[in-house]
Amino acid sequence: MPLFDLPLEQLEKYRSSVVEPVDFDEFWDQTLAEAQSFDLAATFEPVNNRLAVIETFDVTFAGFGGAPIKGWLHLPAHREPGKKLPAVVEYLGYSGGRSLPNQGNRWAQAGYAHFVMDTRGQGFGGSFGETPDPHPSAGGVAYAGLMTRGINSREDYYYRRLFVDGFRAVQAVQRHPAVDPHRIVLNGISQGGGISLAVAGLVAGRLDGVIGVLPDVPFLQDFPRAIDTAAKGPYPDIFAFLSRHREKYEGILKVLNYFDGVHFAARAQTPVLYSVALADDVCPPSTVFASYNAYGEKSGDVRKAIEVYRFNNHEGGQEHHWVKQLDFLQTL
């Protein structure tokens, strides 16, 4: 498809028009304080994954509201006794779930502890999940899907729960004795990339141990721009909702502003490697650059880089980008 967004030289300078709420930090301080009032209760049960070189544990921990969140922890089976491993915490793309224990363990193949967080209320797409969302939103009507679930209230919005789950996932993986709690990397594609950036912002000044972030074609960045430009994927759900609820636009933008990845990125303090695809009509490149250009600006000098895939849509760099991610991790 032809490139539809701004030219690259403009993308490299693009800044989002979003202005963060004055009580953004207060809102998230309160949200995380509520979450921390529940015992993390992280458990790791070994499972038979039928793989000779990977060990897998069925993980359960308490996420938002104390709800049980599932995950897989994959470890290299043949590792040096007593040596703790750096861990990659992976957040999944929209509609995906953790699936089977013998799937999706490539970071463990590369020698890392690999924690895959199941996504509450999802797992209805190409891979299945096992974590329900037991907190139905009280925000009234919504469009099909998750983008407008609870969108009339920042307290009820779906991604408030999911971002808290992501924060608690870091705490959970830090509890396993094979994991070095001081060497945690956040990773994800699309929605997973958006969650990784949200968690990077939430851990800053609140939780030690995160040393890097790998957001790949990240979703949930620069909502106003995304609503206007994304032709496919979940963002058009908001567009469709507003086509029937014409009076709600300003109110919805106020709610979404508490969940915009641009604000979380600005607070992040760890080295980051982004990716962006210039033909991406699901997560438009301007929304990704809005986040990248804001990354670390509240923290001072933060090392950051972005890989640009000019001729790709939302698939991005795929296996080619994973090689670059592996090389980046070697520098942390």
Q: What's the pLDDT tens digit per position in 266-283?
A: 999 999 999 999 999 999
Please state the rounded mean pLDDT for residues 165-173: 98
Query: Of these residues, 280, 286, 291, 321, which one is catalytic?
Result: 280
Q: Give percent of the chain above pLDDT 90.
A: 90
**pLDDT reported for residue 84:** 97
Supply 187's token pair: 């990773």
Catalytic residue among 74, 114, 176, 314: 314
- Residue range 35-44: mean pLDDT, rounded: 98
Could you state, in order of their start, the residue ranges of all structural domains in the chain? Answer: 8-329
pLDDT tens figures, 201-229: 999 999 999 999 999 999 999 999 999 99
Q: Identify the architecture of domain 8-329 in CATH.
A: 3-Layer(aba) Sandwich (3.40)
CB-based contact 146:135 (threshold 8 Å): no
Question: How sure is the predictor about 317, in pLDDT bands with cuts at 50, 70 and 90?
Answer: very high
Residue 291 bears catalytic tag: no
Across 93-155, the runs of DSSP E, i.e. the strands, are: 113-117
Q: Is 280 a catalytic residue?
A: yes
CA atoms within 13 A on the CB side of 210: 31
136 pLDDT band, cuts 50/70/90, is low
Polymer length of the chain: 332
* Cα–chain center distance at 305: 18
pLDDT band at 138 (very low <50, low <70, confident <90, very high): very low
- Taking the model in full, what pTM does it have? 0.97
